[in-house]
Chain A
């Protein structure tokens, strides 16, 4: 019976906690749950840049809090609940593995808004999901890579065989192939998001096998250092700009720009206009950026790349536009047809021309 009283008081206090903010405390509180350390220089770092953009935008009107290195599972659920109890009005949960935890906590705090990155579950009206169309950036990258390669071999360091990564490979390949029909992709799966030494090894292996452009879906600058060591190999920044390696080997970059979205959603909470949405923004909405294309890239290639970027941004061109076949030769998209978001979200096949199998 002691436990039941405890639970009763808990329910009461939960009610109080979520009711407390309604009568208007002066500051809007925004919480961020990070899966890695803010000093990872990659995924978490870019989300924290977004948090700082919110602070910059609203100044004293908003207070931000964050917890880093939060493991997926019960720890994430606890940290989200703790932020909710501490009076957060809006909580961004920035890892795919937080999906169920986010929805569980959102059920308990119907007045607090939750934003889950890269997931697809919105079980409650106070949950939104958001993600970036990084494949648009990959298209630009692929075009540059295909244009500047001389060995016609492009190395690709992939992390885990999940739709996000496969989509990136396909998009880069399609546009590299358009720029250079002889291009060939060599793909190495490192089975980690973060292991700089292994990324360096993978880059070295690719370079030794003749690749003179390296694309990466992992967050460290290790491949850039390997490219620099080799001398005549180009690479692209991932997540952050990695400008320390510009102008060469880093010739451009894909940037994760969460700031504008975080500012917009925070403003919506302040204005009371927040609604549950599923956002998948690309270059046009400013969630995906293309880092400066350096002078190491020939001027006409740079111009083409910028034109491609502009057409992706204004929506006149879709990165997956037919005719496209799947790897096994079966038809996927007809002439002029563009891929629907459902297929893209669950993409589990290579497009025609890529050799090798997706590991299972």
Chain B
């Protein structure tokens, strides 16, 4: 056993990168749930984003265009969910699960020609001398642009939800759609936009895996990350900064687990792999004292009966 082999600075830098896909997807899902919609199709939207981003990046040679395509792909797929749940008033749980099934299949079909290809690499941002600052340099100034975009999205979502009218309306719709409708807000339109935002974020999260973290395309490569993102939103009690904290905590547990193994510490791998889920449940129980945490209309179908 040699714990000195673990470099905490590099560990933190690595967990930031490892956490970015779930951070992006969970932030998107947070907005969707704050609008009162539960979309369990995150995994499906992520994998569609992963293949759209990968294919377009390979075809155009530009990872940036790839990420844009991933966001568009995720949003398009989420439109299907929006149509089902907002227009045809189908059950959200079933629609979300069907979306994941569909997304996994469709991505595999689209990706048939892209197995074994190396995508164009997205370079890290060059911060010049900033990157040489001890401790802070490697942690804060050594990453790819999308990681910062993810942080920016968290900040923007937080600010919009807290300080703007748009945020207020979104939350009103999520808390009580009947009241919001009575006040004249377009519940369906607002929710559809929120769902599309969630799809775009999930798509980018997926592309982060296929273009930066891994980078390659293989069927089913998101391997269940979408479900962790769903857990994370609850863990964060629907608050953006806590999503960030939670993403780093989840990512950190995985990183630490792998690092401990590398250092020769005998740990029960399966039980550590359970821990993020168990912790989420504990947090849920603690949060339940605060009844205001969950959006009031979460998962309920809205129909404007006139």
Interface residues of A (CB under 8 A from B): 36-37, 39-42, 45, 155, 186-192, 194-202, 204-206, 208-211, 220-222, 225, 240, 244-245, 355-357, 359
Contact = CB atoms under 8 A, between A and B. Distances in A.
Given A41-B216, A196-B221, A188 B261 contact: yes
A201 B218 contact: no
A201 B14 contact: yes
Contacts of A199: 214
Given A192-B223, A244-B117, A197 B209 contact: yes
A294 to B, nearest CB: 16
B259 A196 contact: no
A41 B7 CA distance: 33
Contacts of B224: 195
10 contacts: A39-B112, A155-B262, A186-B5, A186-B263, A194-B220, A196-B214, A196-B216, A205-B258, A208-B7, A209-B7
Contacts of B261: 187-189, 205, 356
Nearest to B224: A195
Contacts of A222: 213-216
B11 interface: yes
Contacts of B222: 197
Given A45-B115, A191-B269, A197-B21, A186 B264 contact: yes
Nearest to A192: B223
A254 B254 CA distance: 28
B269 A240 contact: no
A41 B21 contact: no
Interface in B198-224: 209, 213-216, 218-224
Contact of A40 (B209, B219, B273): B219
B268 interface: yes
B116 interface: yes
Contacts of A206: 262
Contacts of A200: 213-214
B80 to A, nearest CB: 23
B254 A198 contact: yes
B111 A194 contact: no
B220 A37 contact: yes
Interface string B111-138: 1100111100000000000000000000
Interface in B224-270: 224-225, 254-255, 258-259, 261-264, 266, 268-270
Contacts of B71: none
Nearest to A42: B218
Nearest to B22: A197
Contact of A359 (B10, B215, B266): B266
Contacts of A39: 108, 111-112, 115, 218-219
Contacts of A41: 115-116, 216, 218
B45 interface: no
Nearest to B259: A205
Contact of B223 (A195, A204, A357): A195
B216 A220 contact: yes
Given A155-B262, A205-B258, A209-B5, 10 more contacts: A37-B108, A37-B219, A39-B218, A188-B262, A197-B21, A206-B262, A208-B259, A220-B221, A225-B214, A225-B215
Contacts of B112: 39
Contact of A198 (B5, B117, B223, B262): B223
A186 B214 contact: no
A211 to B, nearest CB: 8
Most-contacted residue by chain A among B11, B116, B273 (CB, 10 A): B116
Nearest to B266: A357
B6 interface: yes
Contact of A355 (B7, B11, B18, B264): B264
A201 B264 contact: no
Top-10 shortest CB links A-B: A205-B258, A196-B214, A244-B118, A195-B223, A209-B5, A37-B219, A208-B10, A222-B214, A39-B115, A188-B261
Contacts of B5: 186, 209-210
B116 A244 contact: yes
Nearest to B116: A41
A187 B261 CA distance: 7
Contacts of B273: 191
B14 to A, nearest CB: 5
Contact of A205 (B225, B255, B264): B255
Contacts of B108: 37, 39
Contacts of B7: 208-209
Nearest to A194: B223
Nearest to A242: B116
B272 to A, nearest CB: 10
Contacts of A357: 266
Given A197-B223, A209-B259, A220 B116 contact: no
Given A41-B116, A209-B259, A196 B218 contact: yes
A245 B254 CA distance: 26
Interface in B252-300: 254-255, 258-259, 261-264, 266, 268-270, 273
A197 B10 contact: no
B118 A245 contact: yes
Contacts of A197: 18, 21, 209, 213-214, 221-223, 225
Nearest to B10: A208
B250 to A, nearest CB: 12
Nearest to B4: A209
Nearest to B9: A208
B188 to A, nearest CB: 36
A221 B118 CA distance: 9
A201 B273 CA distance: 14
A240 to B, nearest CB: 7
A209 B262 contact: yes
